[in-house]
Structure 1
Amino acid sequence: MSSPPATPTRTSAARPRRPAWAGRNYTLLTGAAVVTNLGSHGALIAAAFAVMEAGGSGGDVGLVAAARTLPLVLFLLIGGALADRLPRHRVMVAANALNCVSQAAFAALVLAGDPQLWQMMLLTALCGTGTAFFNPAAEGMLLSSVSGEHSHRAFALFRMAMNGAGIGGAALGGAMIAAIGPGWVLAVDAAAFAVAGALRAFLDVGHIAERAPGGGLPADLREGWVEFKSRPWLWSIVLQFSVVVAVVGAAESVYGPLVARDRLGGPAPWGLALAFFGIGTIAGAVLMMLWKPRRLLLVGTLCVFPLALPSAGLAVPLPVWALCAVMLVSGAAIEVFGVNWMTTMHQEIPEEKFSRVSAYDWFGSVSMLPLATAVAGPVETAVGRTAALWGCATLVVLVTAAVLTVPDVRRMTRRAPTPVRADAPALPAQSPPATLPAEPAADHATPRPAPAGHGTNPG
């Protein structure tokens, strides 16, 4: 007598391998972001120490950092327009390929010995060019991959995975630099870009409707500008972050490595401090998976104030353990901002225009960063490193207080649920667009995010 055919168990049938809202694109994007952050967080430290090991000064470190960010200012708007017109995954893969080649060449140059400043600036600028085209396409692709109902949880999980990888990347990168030198860390970053580009090649953009032919690049840029300038909450926070990103970037890219070299014991302690910033971002992301504040931008903006703490901590300077604690708090705070910012953008910006609006966001946010990193060395010479760092902390506080005077920032509320994003599961009937209330509504909590965008994705 034959035995009855086997039937699937109830347990196996009821246990999905991933949440229903985490579709194929979301999973690939998250995996690729983990890979690139493992490499890029260590590579940022490696670039600074490669310059110093070649005999460069603090001003030279600033010039290399400026060379990375200047292409962002020059090419972000073009990258945003292309990302709304071309298949976004192709733009992302091409950008990853450029990043891979430029970082591999940088690694070979450092490993060969005696790299010249102009060579390091050129290769870093090529990497920054890839980032300029990558970032608007990446944000548009991510926001098209989740539904409005689950967007805050999806963004929090994505950022938690990305920043968790950054913890390991920063700590491992600092240790590798101390043990075997910065060249090998740059080589690891190049390999990470190659792997991430391969993953992103499998993204599906067939669900995104093709845009009707328009008036070309100038018309696309004008359309994005109209969307951007019509929202006071958007352009005011971008103006705020043009200052915040500039001074935080100067503090962390130029002054941080110098303080680490002179007062903290070298690259490993600085890598540890950056890793604690990453731990803070994970804590902030976990919080945002549980908490859904009603006033998105008010809560987010209040959480920008702690970004003044790392500059102040470096100015003292704090001992390593205290600096790590400061970085932990600031990491958690900026993650709360980042998730609320992405949720606001997701619910307020039309999907077909998102990459262009995102490009204006990125453009404004990083516009002053090349200047800030380039002049960080001369400013240190003129007023001293301690005064320069206290100035960075003060500017963060002043511009953040100023943006709280914008009514839309105080009153912007979460609405439920936003329209369905393209590759997400279907949702029940959607609510009509929300309007700002005449008076600020009280926040509520259920039992329950580079700076701008605002958690810079290195590619």
Structure 2
Amino acid sequence: MPSPPATDTVHPPAPRTTVLRDPAFARLWSGTTASGLATWALPFILGLAVLDGSLTAAGLGLVLATRTVGFLAAVPVGGILADRCSRRAVVRWSGIAAALATPFLAVGLGGSTLLMAAAAAVVGAGQGACRPAFQALTAEVVDPPLRQQANAAMTFSVRVSTLVGPGLTALLSTVAGTGVLLLGTGLLWLVAALLPPPGAPRAVGVSVRAPFHVEFADGLREARRHPWFMAGLGALTAVIATGYSATGVLLPLVSRDHYGTEVVLAAALTAYTAGALAGAVLVARWRPRSQGWAALAGLACYGFAPLSLLFATDPVVVIAAYVLAGVGIELFNVPWFTAAQREVEPGKLARVSSLDFLFSYGLAPVGLALIAPAAQAFGIEAVLATCALLCFLAPALAALAPGARDFRTREMA
């Protein structure tokens, strides 16, 4: 009996269970990792330049300050442009601008601090403009069920960069000068510019655009439409401006005065990064029922860092507190980014993300600038106690906002 004719059965592709096997995401992850390495390496390389005498401490402060100014000025502009046109194009031109400005840092080294400051402003602008574009591009490249994994992988790469970047840079400095290392960061910016994949096609045919300030205000209205986002952003800003500043300014003083060694400082910072790496791995898969509340509880864990410095406890307690703070910050960051990508209107996501970076990271230098005078005026113990209290209180208040329980926006009828 003849066999029935063969038929070609087309089966739909099985849904991906991990974002790590997606070639498009691999390109995006590699691009963001390159930008992260370039961002975190620059201050360390400039610090090496101070040590070898090719840059003064005052020059270092000026260069880093202009980079911060460029970052803050470009973040809202980058958010608007990334919502107007291709997110990939904004990433590309931002990275290219940073890459082209980097050689002028090397040229000015040992000669013109003003040239270095101007170049650093452009590098900072490239860094600031690409941040909201990367956030929005992730939402275009990655399917919704896998975005939490994707954001966890992104933040994991950032933490690895901060952990191995200084040591790797110091190792490279034994065979290459600081000028060559600066040029290396320019190559990293080129990778960040050229490697990310295209996102979703953008709308065409719009001939009239609103002025920049109108589109920025439109993004602000979109952010205010999500009460949980505004409350969470306020809590994040408070924690960074206080807990992060306590780590940056007061931890070195406590390490020196209470323990008589810088080992506690190095161990605490390493513990924080190790905790953040563990948190990123955990949150890639963990889905608590009340994810927003769990994320805010994680954010509140940063309060244990200044609290551990308040008393002359055993160094192990300080290290454990910083591990807990690191785990907690990623338990917040990853669901926070994922919720914004899910809840915010796609055409306004980059602008809302720019508000996130502008307020949370933009106010961090203010906290760093004020905490040392406050410690002199009121004492280190009073400042540490206030920082710890605000780190605990701000997320608790944010948890009361509508939609904060699961980071979801419920429209009123």
TM-score by length of 1: 0.71
Summarize the Cα distance change of 1:218–1:357 in structure 2 as closer, same or farther, 3 Å threshold. Answer: same
Shift of 1:347: 2.0
Q: Does 1:408 align with 2:401?
A: yes
1:161, distance to aligned residue in structure 2 (A): 3.3
The AA in structure 2 aligned to 1:342 is: F
**SS, match of residue 284 in structure 2:** helix
- Please give the alpha-carbon distance, in whole angstroms, between the structure 2 residues aligned to 1:82 and 1:236: 26
Q: Distance in 1 between matches of 2:172 and 2:71?
A: 28
| Offset at residue 227 of structure 1 (A) | 0.6
- The aligned counterpart of 2:30 is 31
Aligned counterparts, 1:50-449, within 5 A: 50-51=49-50, 54-56=55-57, 64-110=63-109, 113=110, 116=113, 118=114, 120-173=116-169, 185-200=181-196, 203-210=197-204, 212=206, 213-248=208-243, 250-251=245-246, 274-310=269-305, 325-375=320-370, 382-383=376-377, 387=380, 391=383, 394-395=386-387, 397-398=389-390, 400-406=392-398, 407-408=400-401, 411-413=404-406, 435=410
Partners in 2 of 1:259 and 1:109 — Cα distance? 36
What is the CA-CA distance between 1:436 and the residue it aligns to? 8.8
**What SS does the aligned partner of 2:166 have?**
helix
Tell me the distance in 1 between the aligned counterparts of 2:313 and 2:106. Answer: 33
- Any idea what SS the aligned residue of 1:290 has? coil
Quote the Cα distance in structure 1 between the aligned partners of 2:342 and 2:38: 32
Change in Cα spacing, 1:131 to 1:372, as seen in structure 2 (3 Å) is: same
Q: How big is the shift at 1:109?
A: 3.7
Q: Is the 8 A contact 2:243 2:391 kept in 1?
A: no
Q: Secondary structure at the match of 1:408?
A: coil
| Closer, same or farther: CA 15–142 of 1 in aligned 2, 3 Å | closer
Asked if 1 retains the 8 angstrom alpha-carbon contact of 2:19 and 2:146, the reply is no
Query: CA 1:235 to 1:411, structure 2 compared with 1: closer, same or farther past 3 Å?
Result: closer
Provide the rounded CA distance (Å) in 1 between the counterparts of 2:396 and 2:126.
34
Q: Could you list the runs of 5+ residues in structure 1 that have no partner in the other structure?
A: 1-13, 416-433, 438-459
Counterpart position of 2:3: none
String of CA shifts for 1:384-408, please: whole Å, max 9, x gaps.
Answer: 9x82x97267335415413422423
Offset of residue 275 of structure 1 = 4.7
1:87 corresponds to which letter in structure 2?
Answer: S
Residues 294-345 of structure 1, C-alpha deviation per residue, up to 9 Å, x if partnerless?
2222111111233245556678799988765544332221111111101211
Distance in 2 (CA, whole Å) between partners of 1:43 and 1:215 is: 36
Contact 1:67 1:370 in 2 (8 A): no
Change (3 A) 1:66 1:143: same
Identity of aligned residues (%): 22
CA shift, 1:15, in A, is 11
- Counterparts of 2:118 and 2:335, CA distance in 1: 36
Distance 2:333 2:377 in 1: 33
Please list every run of 5 or more consecutive structure 2 residues that lacks an aligned counterpart in the other structure: 1-12
Q: Residue type of the partner of 2:273?
A: G
Higher relative contact order, structure no. (Cα contacts within 8 Å, ≥ 6 residues apart): 1
Question: Cα deviation per residue 1:73-112 (whole Å; 9 max; x = unaligned)?
Answer: 33322221111012111111111122223343334444xx
Name the counterpart of 1:452: none
Moved more, 225-234 or 150-159: 150-159
Q: Could you state the TM-score of these two structures normalised by the residue count of structure 2?
A: 0.78
Q: CA 1:239–1:218 in 2, change beyond 3 Å: closer, same or farther?
A: same
Rounded Cα–Cα distance in structure 2 between residues aligned with 1:315 and 1:108: 45
State whether residues 69 and 369 of structure 1, in contact with CA within 8 Å, keep that contact through their aligned partners in structure 2.
no
Superposed displacement of residue 160, structure 1: 2.1
Q: CA RMSD in A?
A: 4.1
Give the Cα separation in 2 of the matches to 1:397 and 1:188: 42
Any conservation in 1 of the 2:252–2:262 contact (CA below 8 Å)? no
Count of equivalent residues: 394
Q: Structure 2 CA distance, aligned partners of 1:309 and 1:176?
A: 36
Is the CA contact (8 Å cut-off) linking 1:308 and 1:394 kept in structure 2?
no
- CA distance in structure 1 between the aligned counterparts of 2:327 and 2:363, rounded to whole angstroms: 25
Give the secondary-structure state (helix, strand or coil) at the position aligned to 1:404: helix
Distance 1:259 1:172, change over 3 A: farther
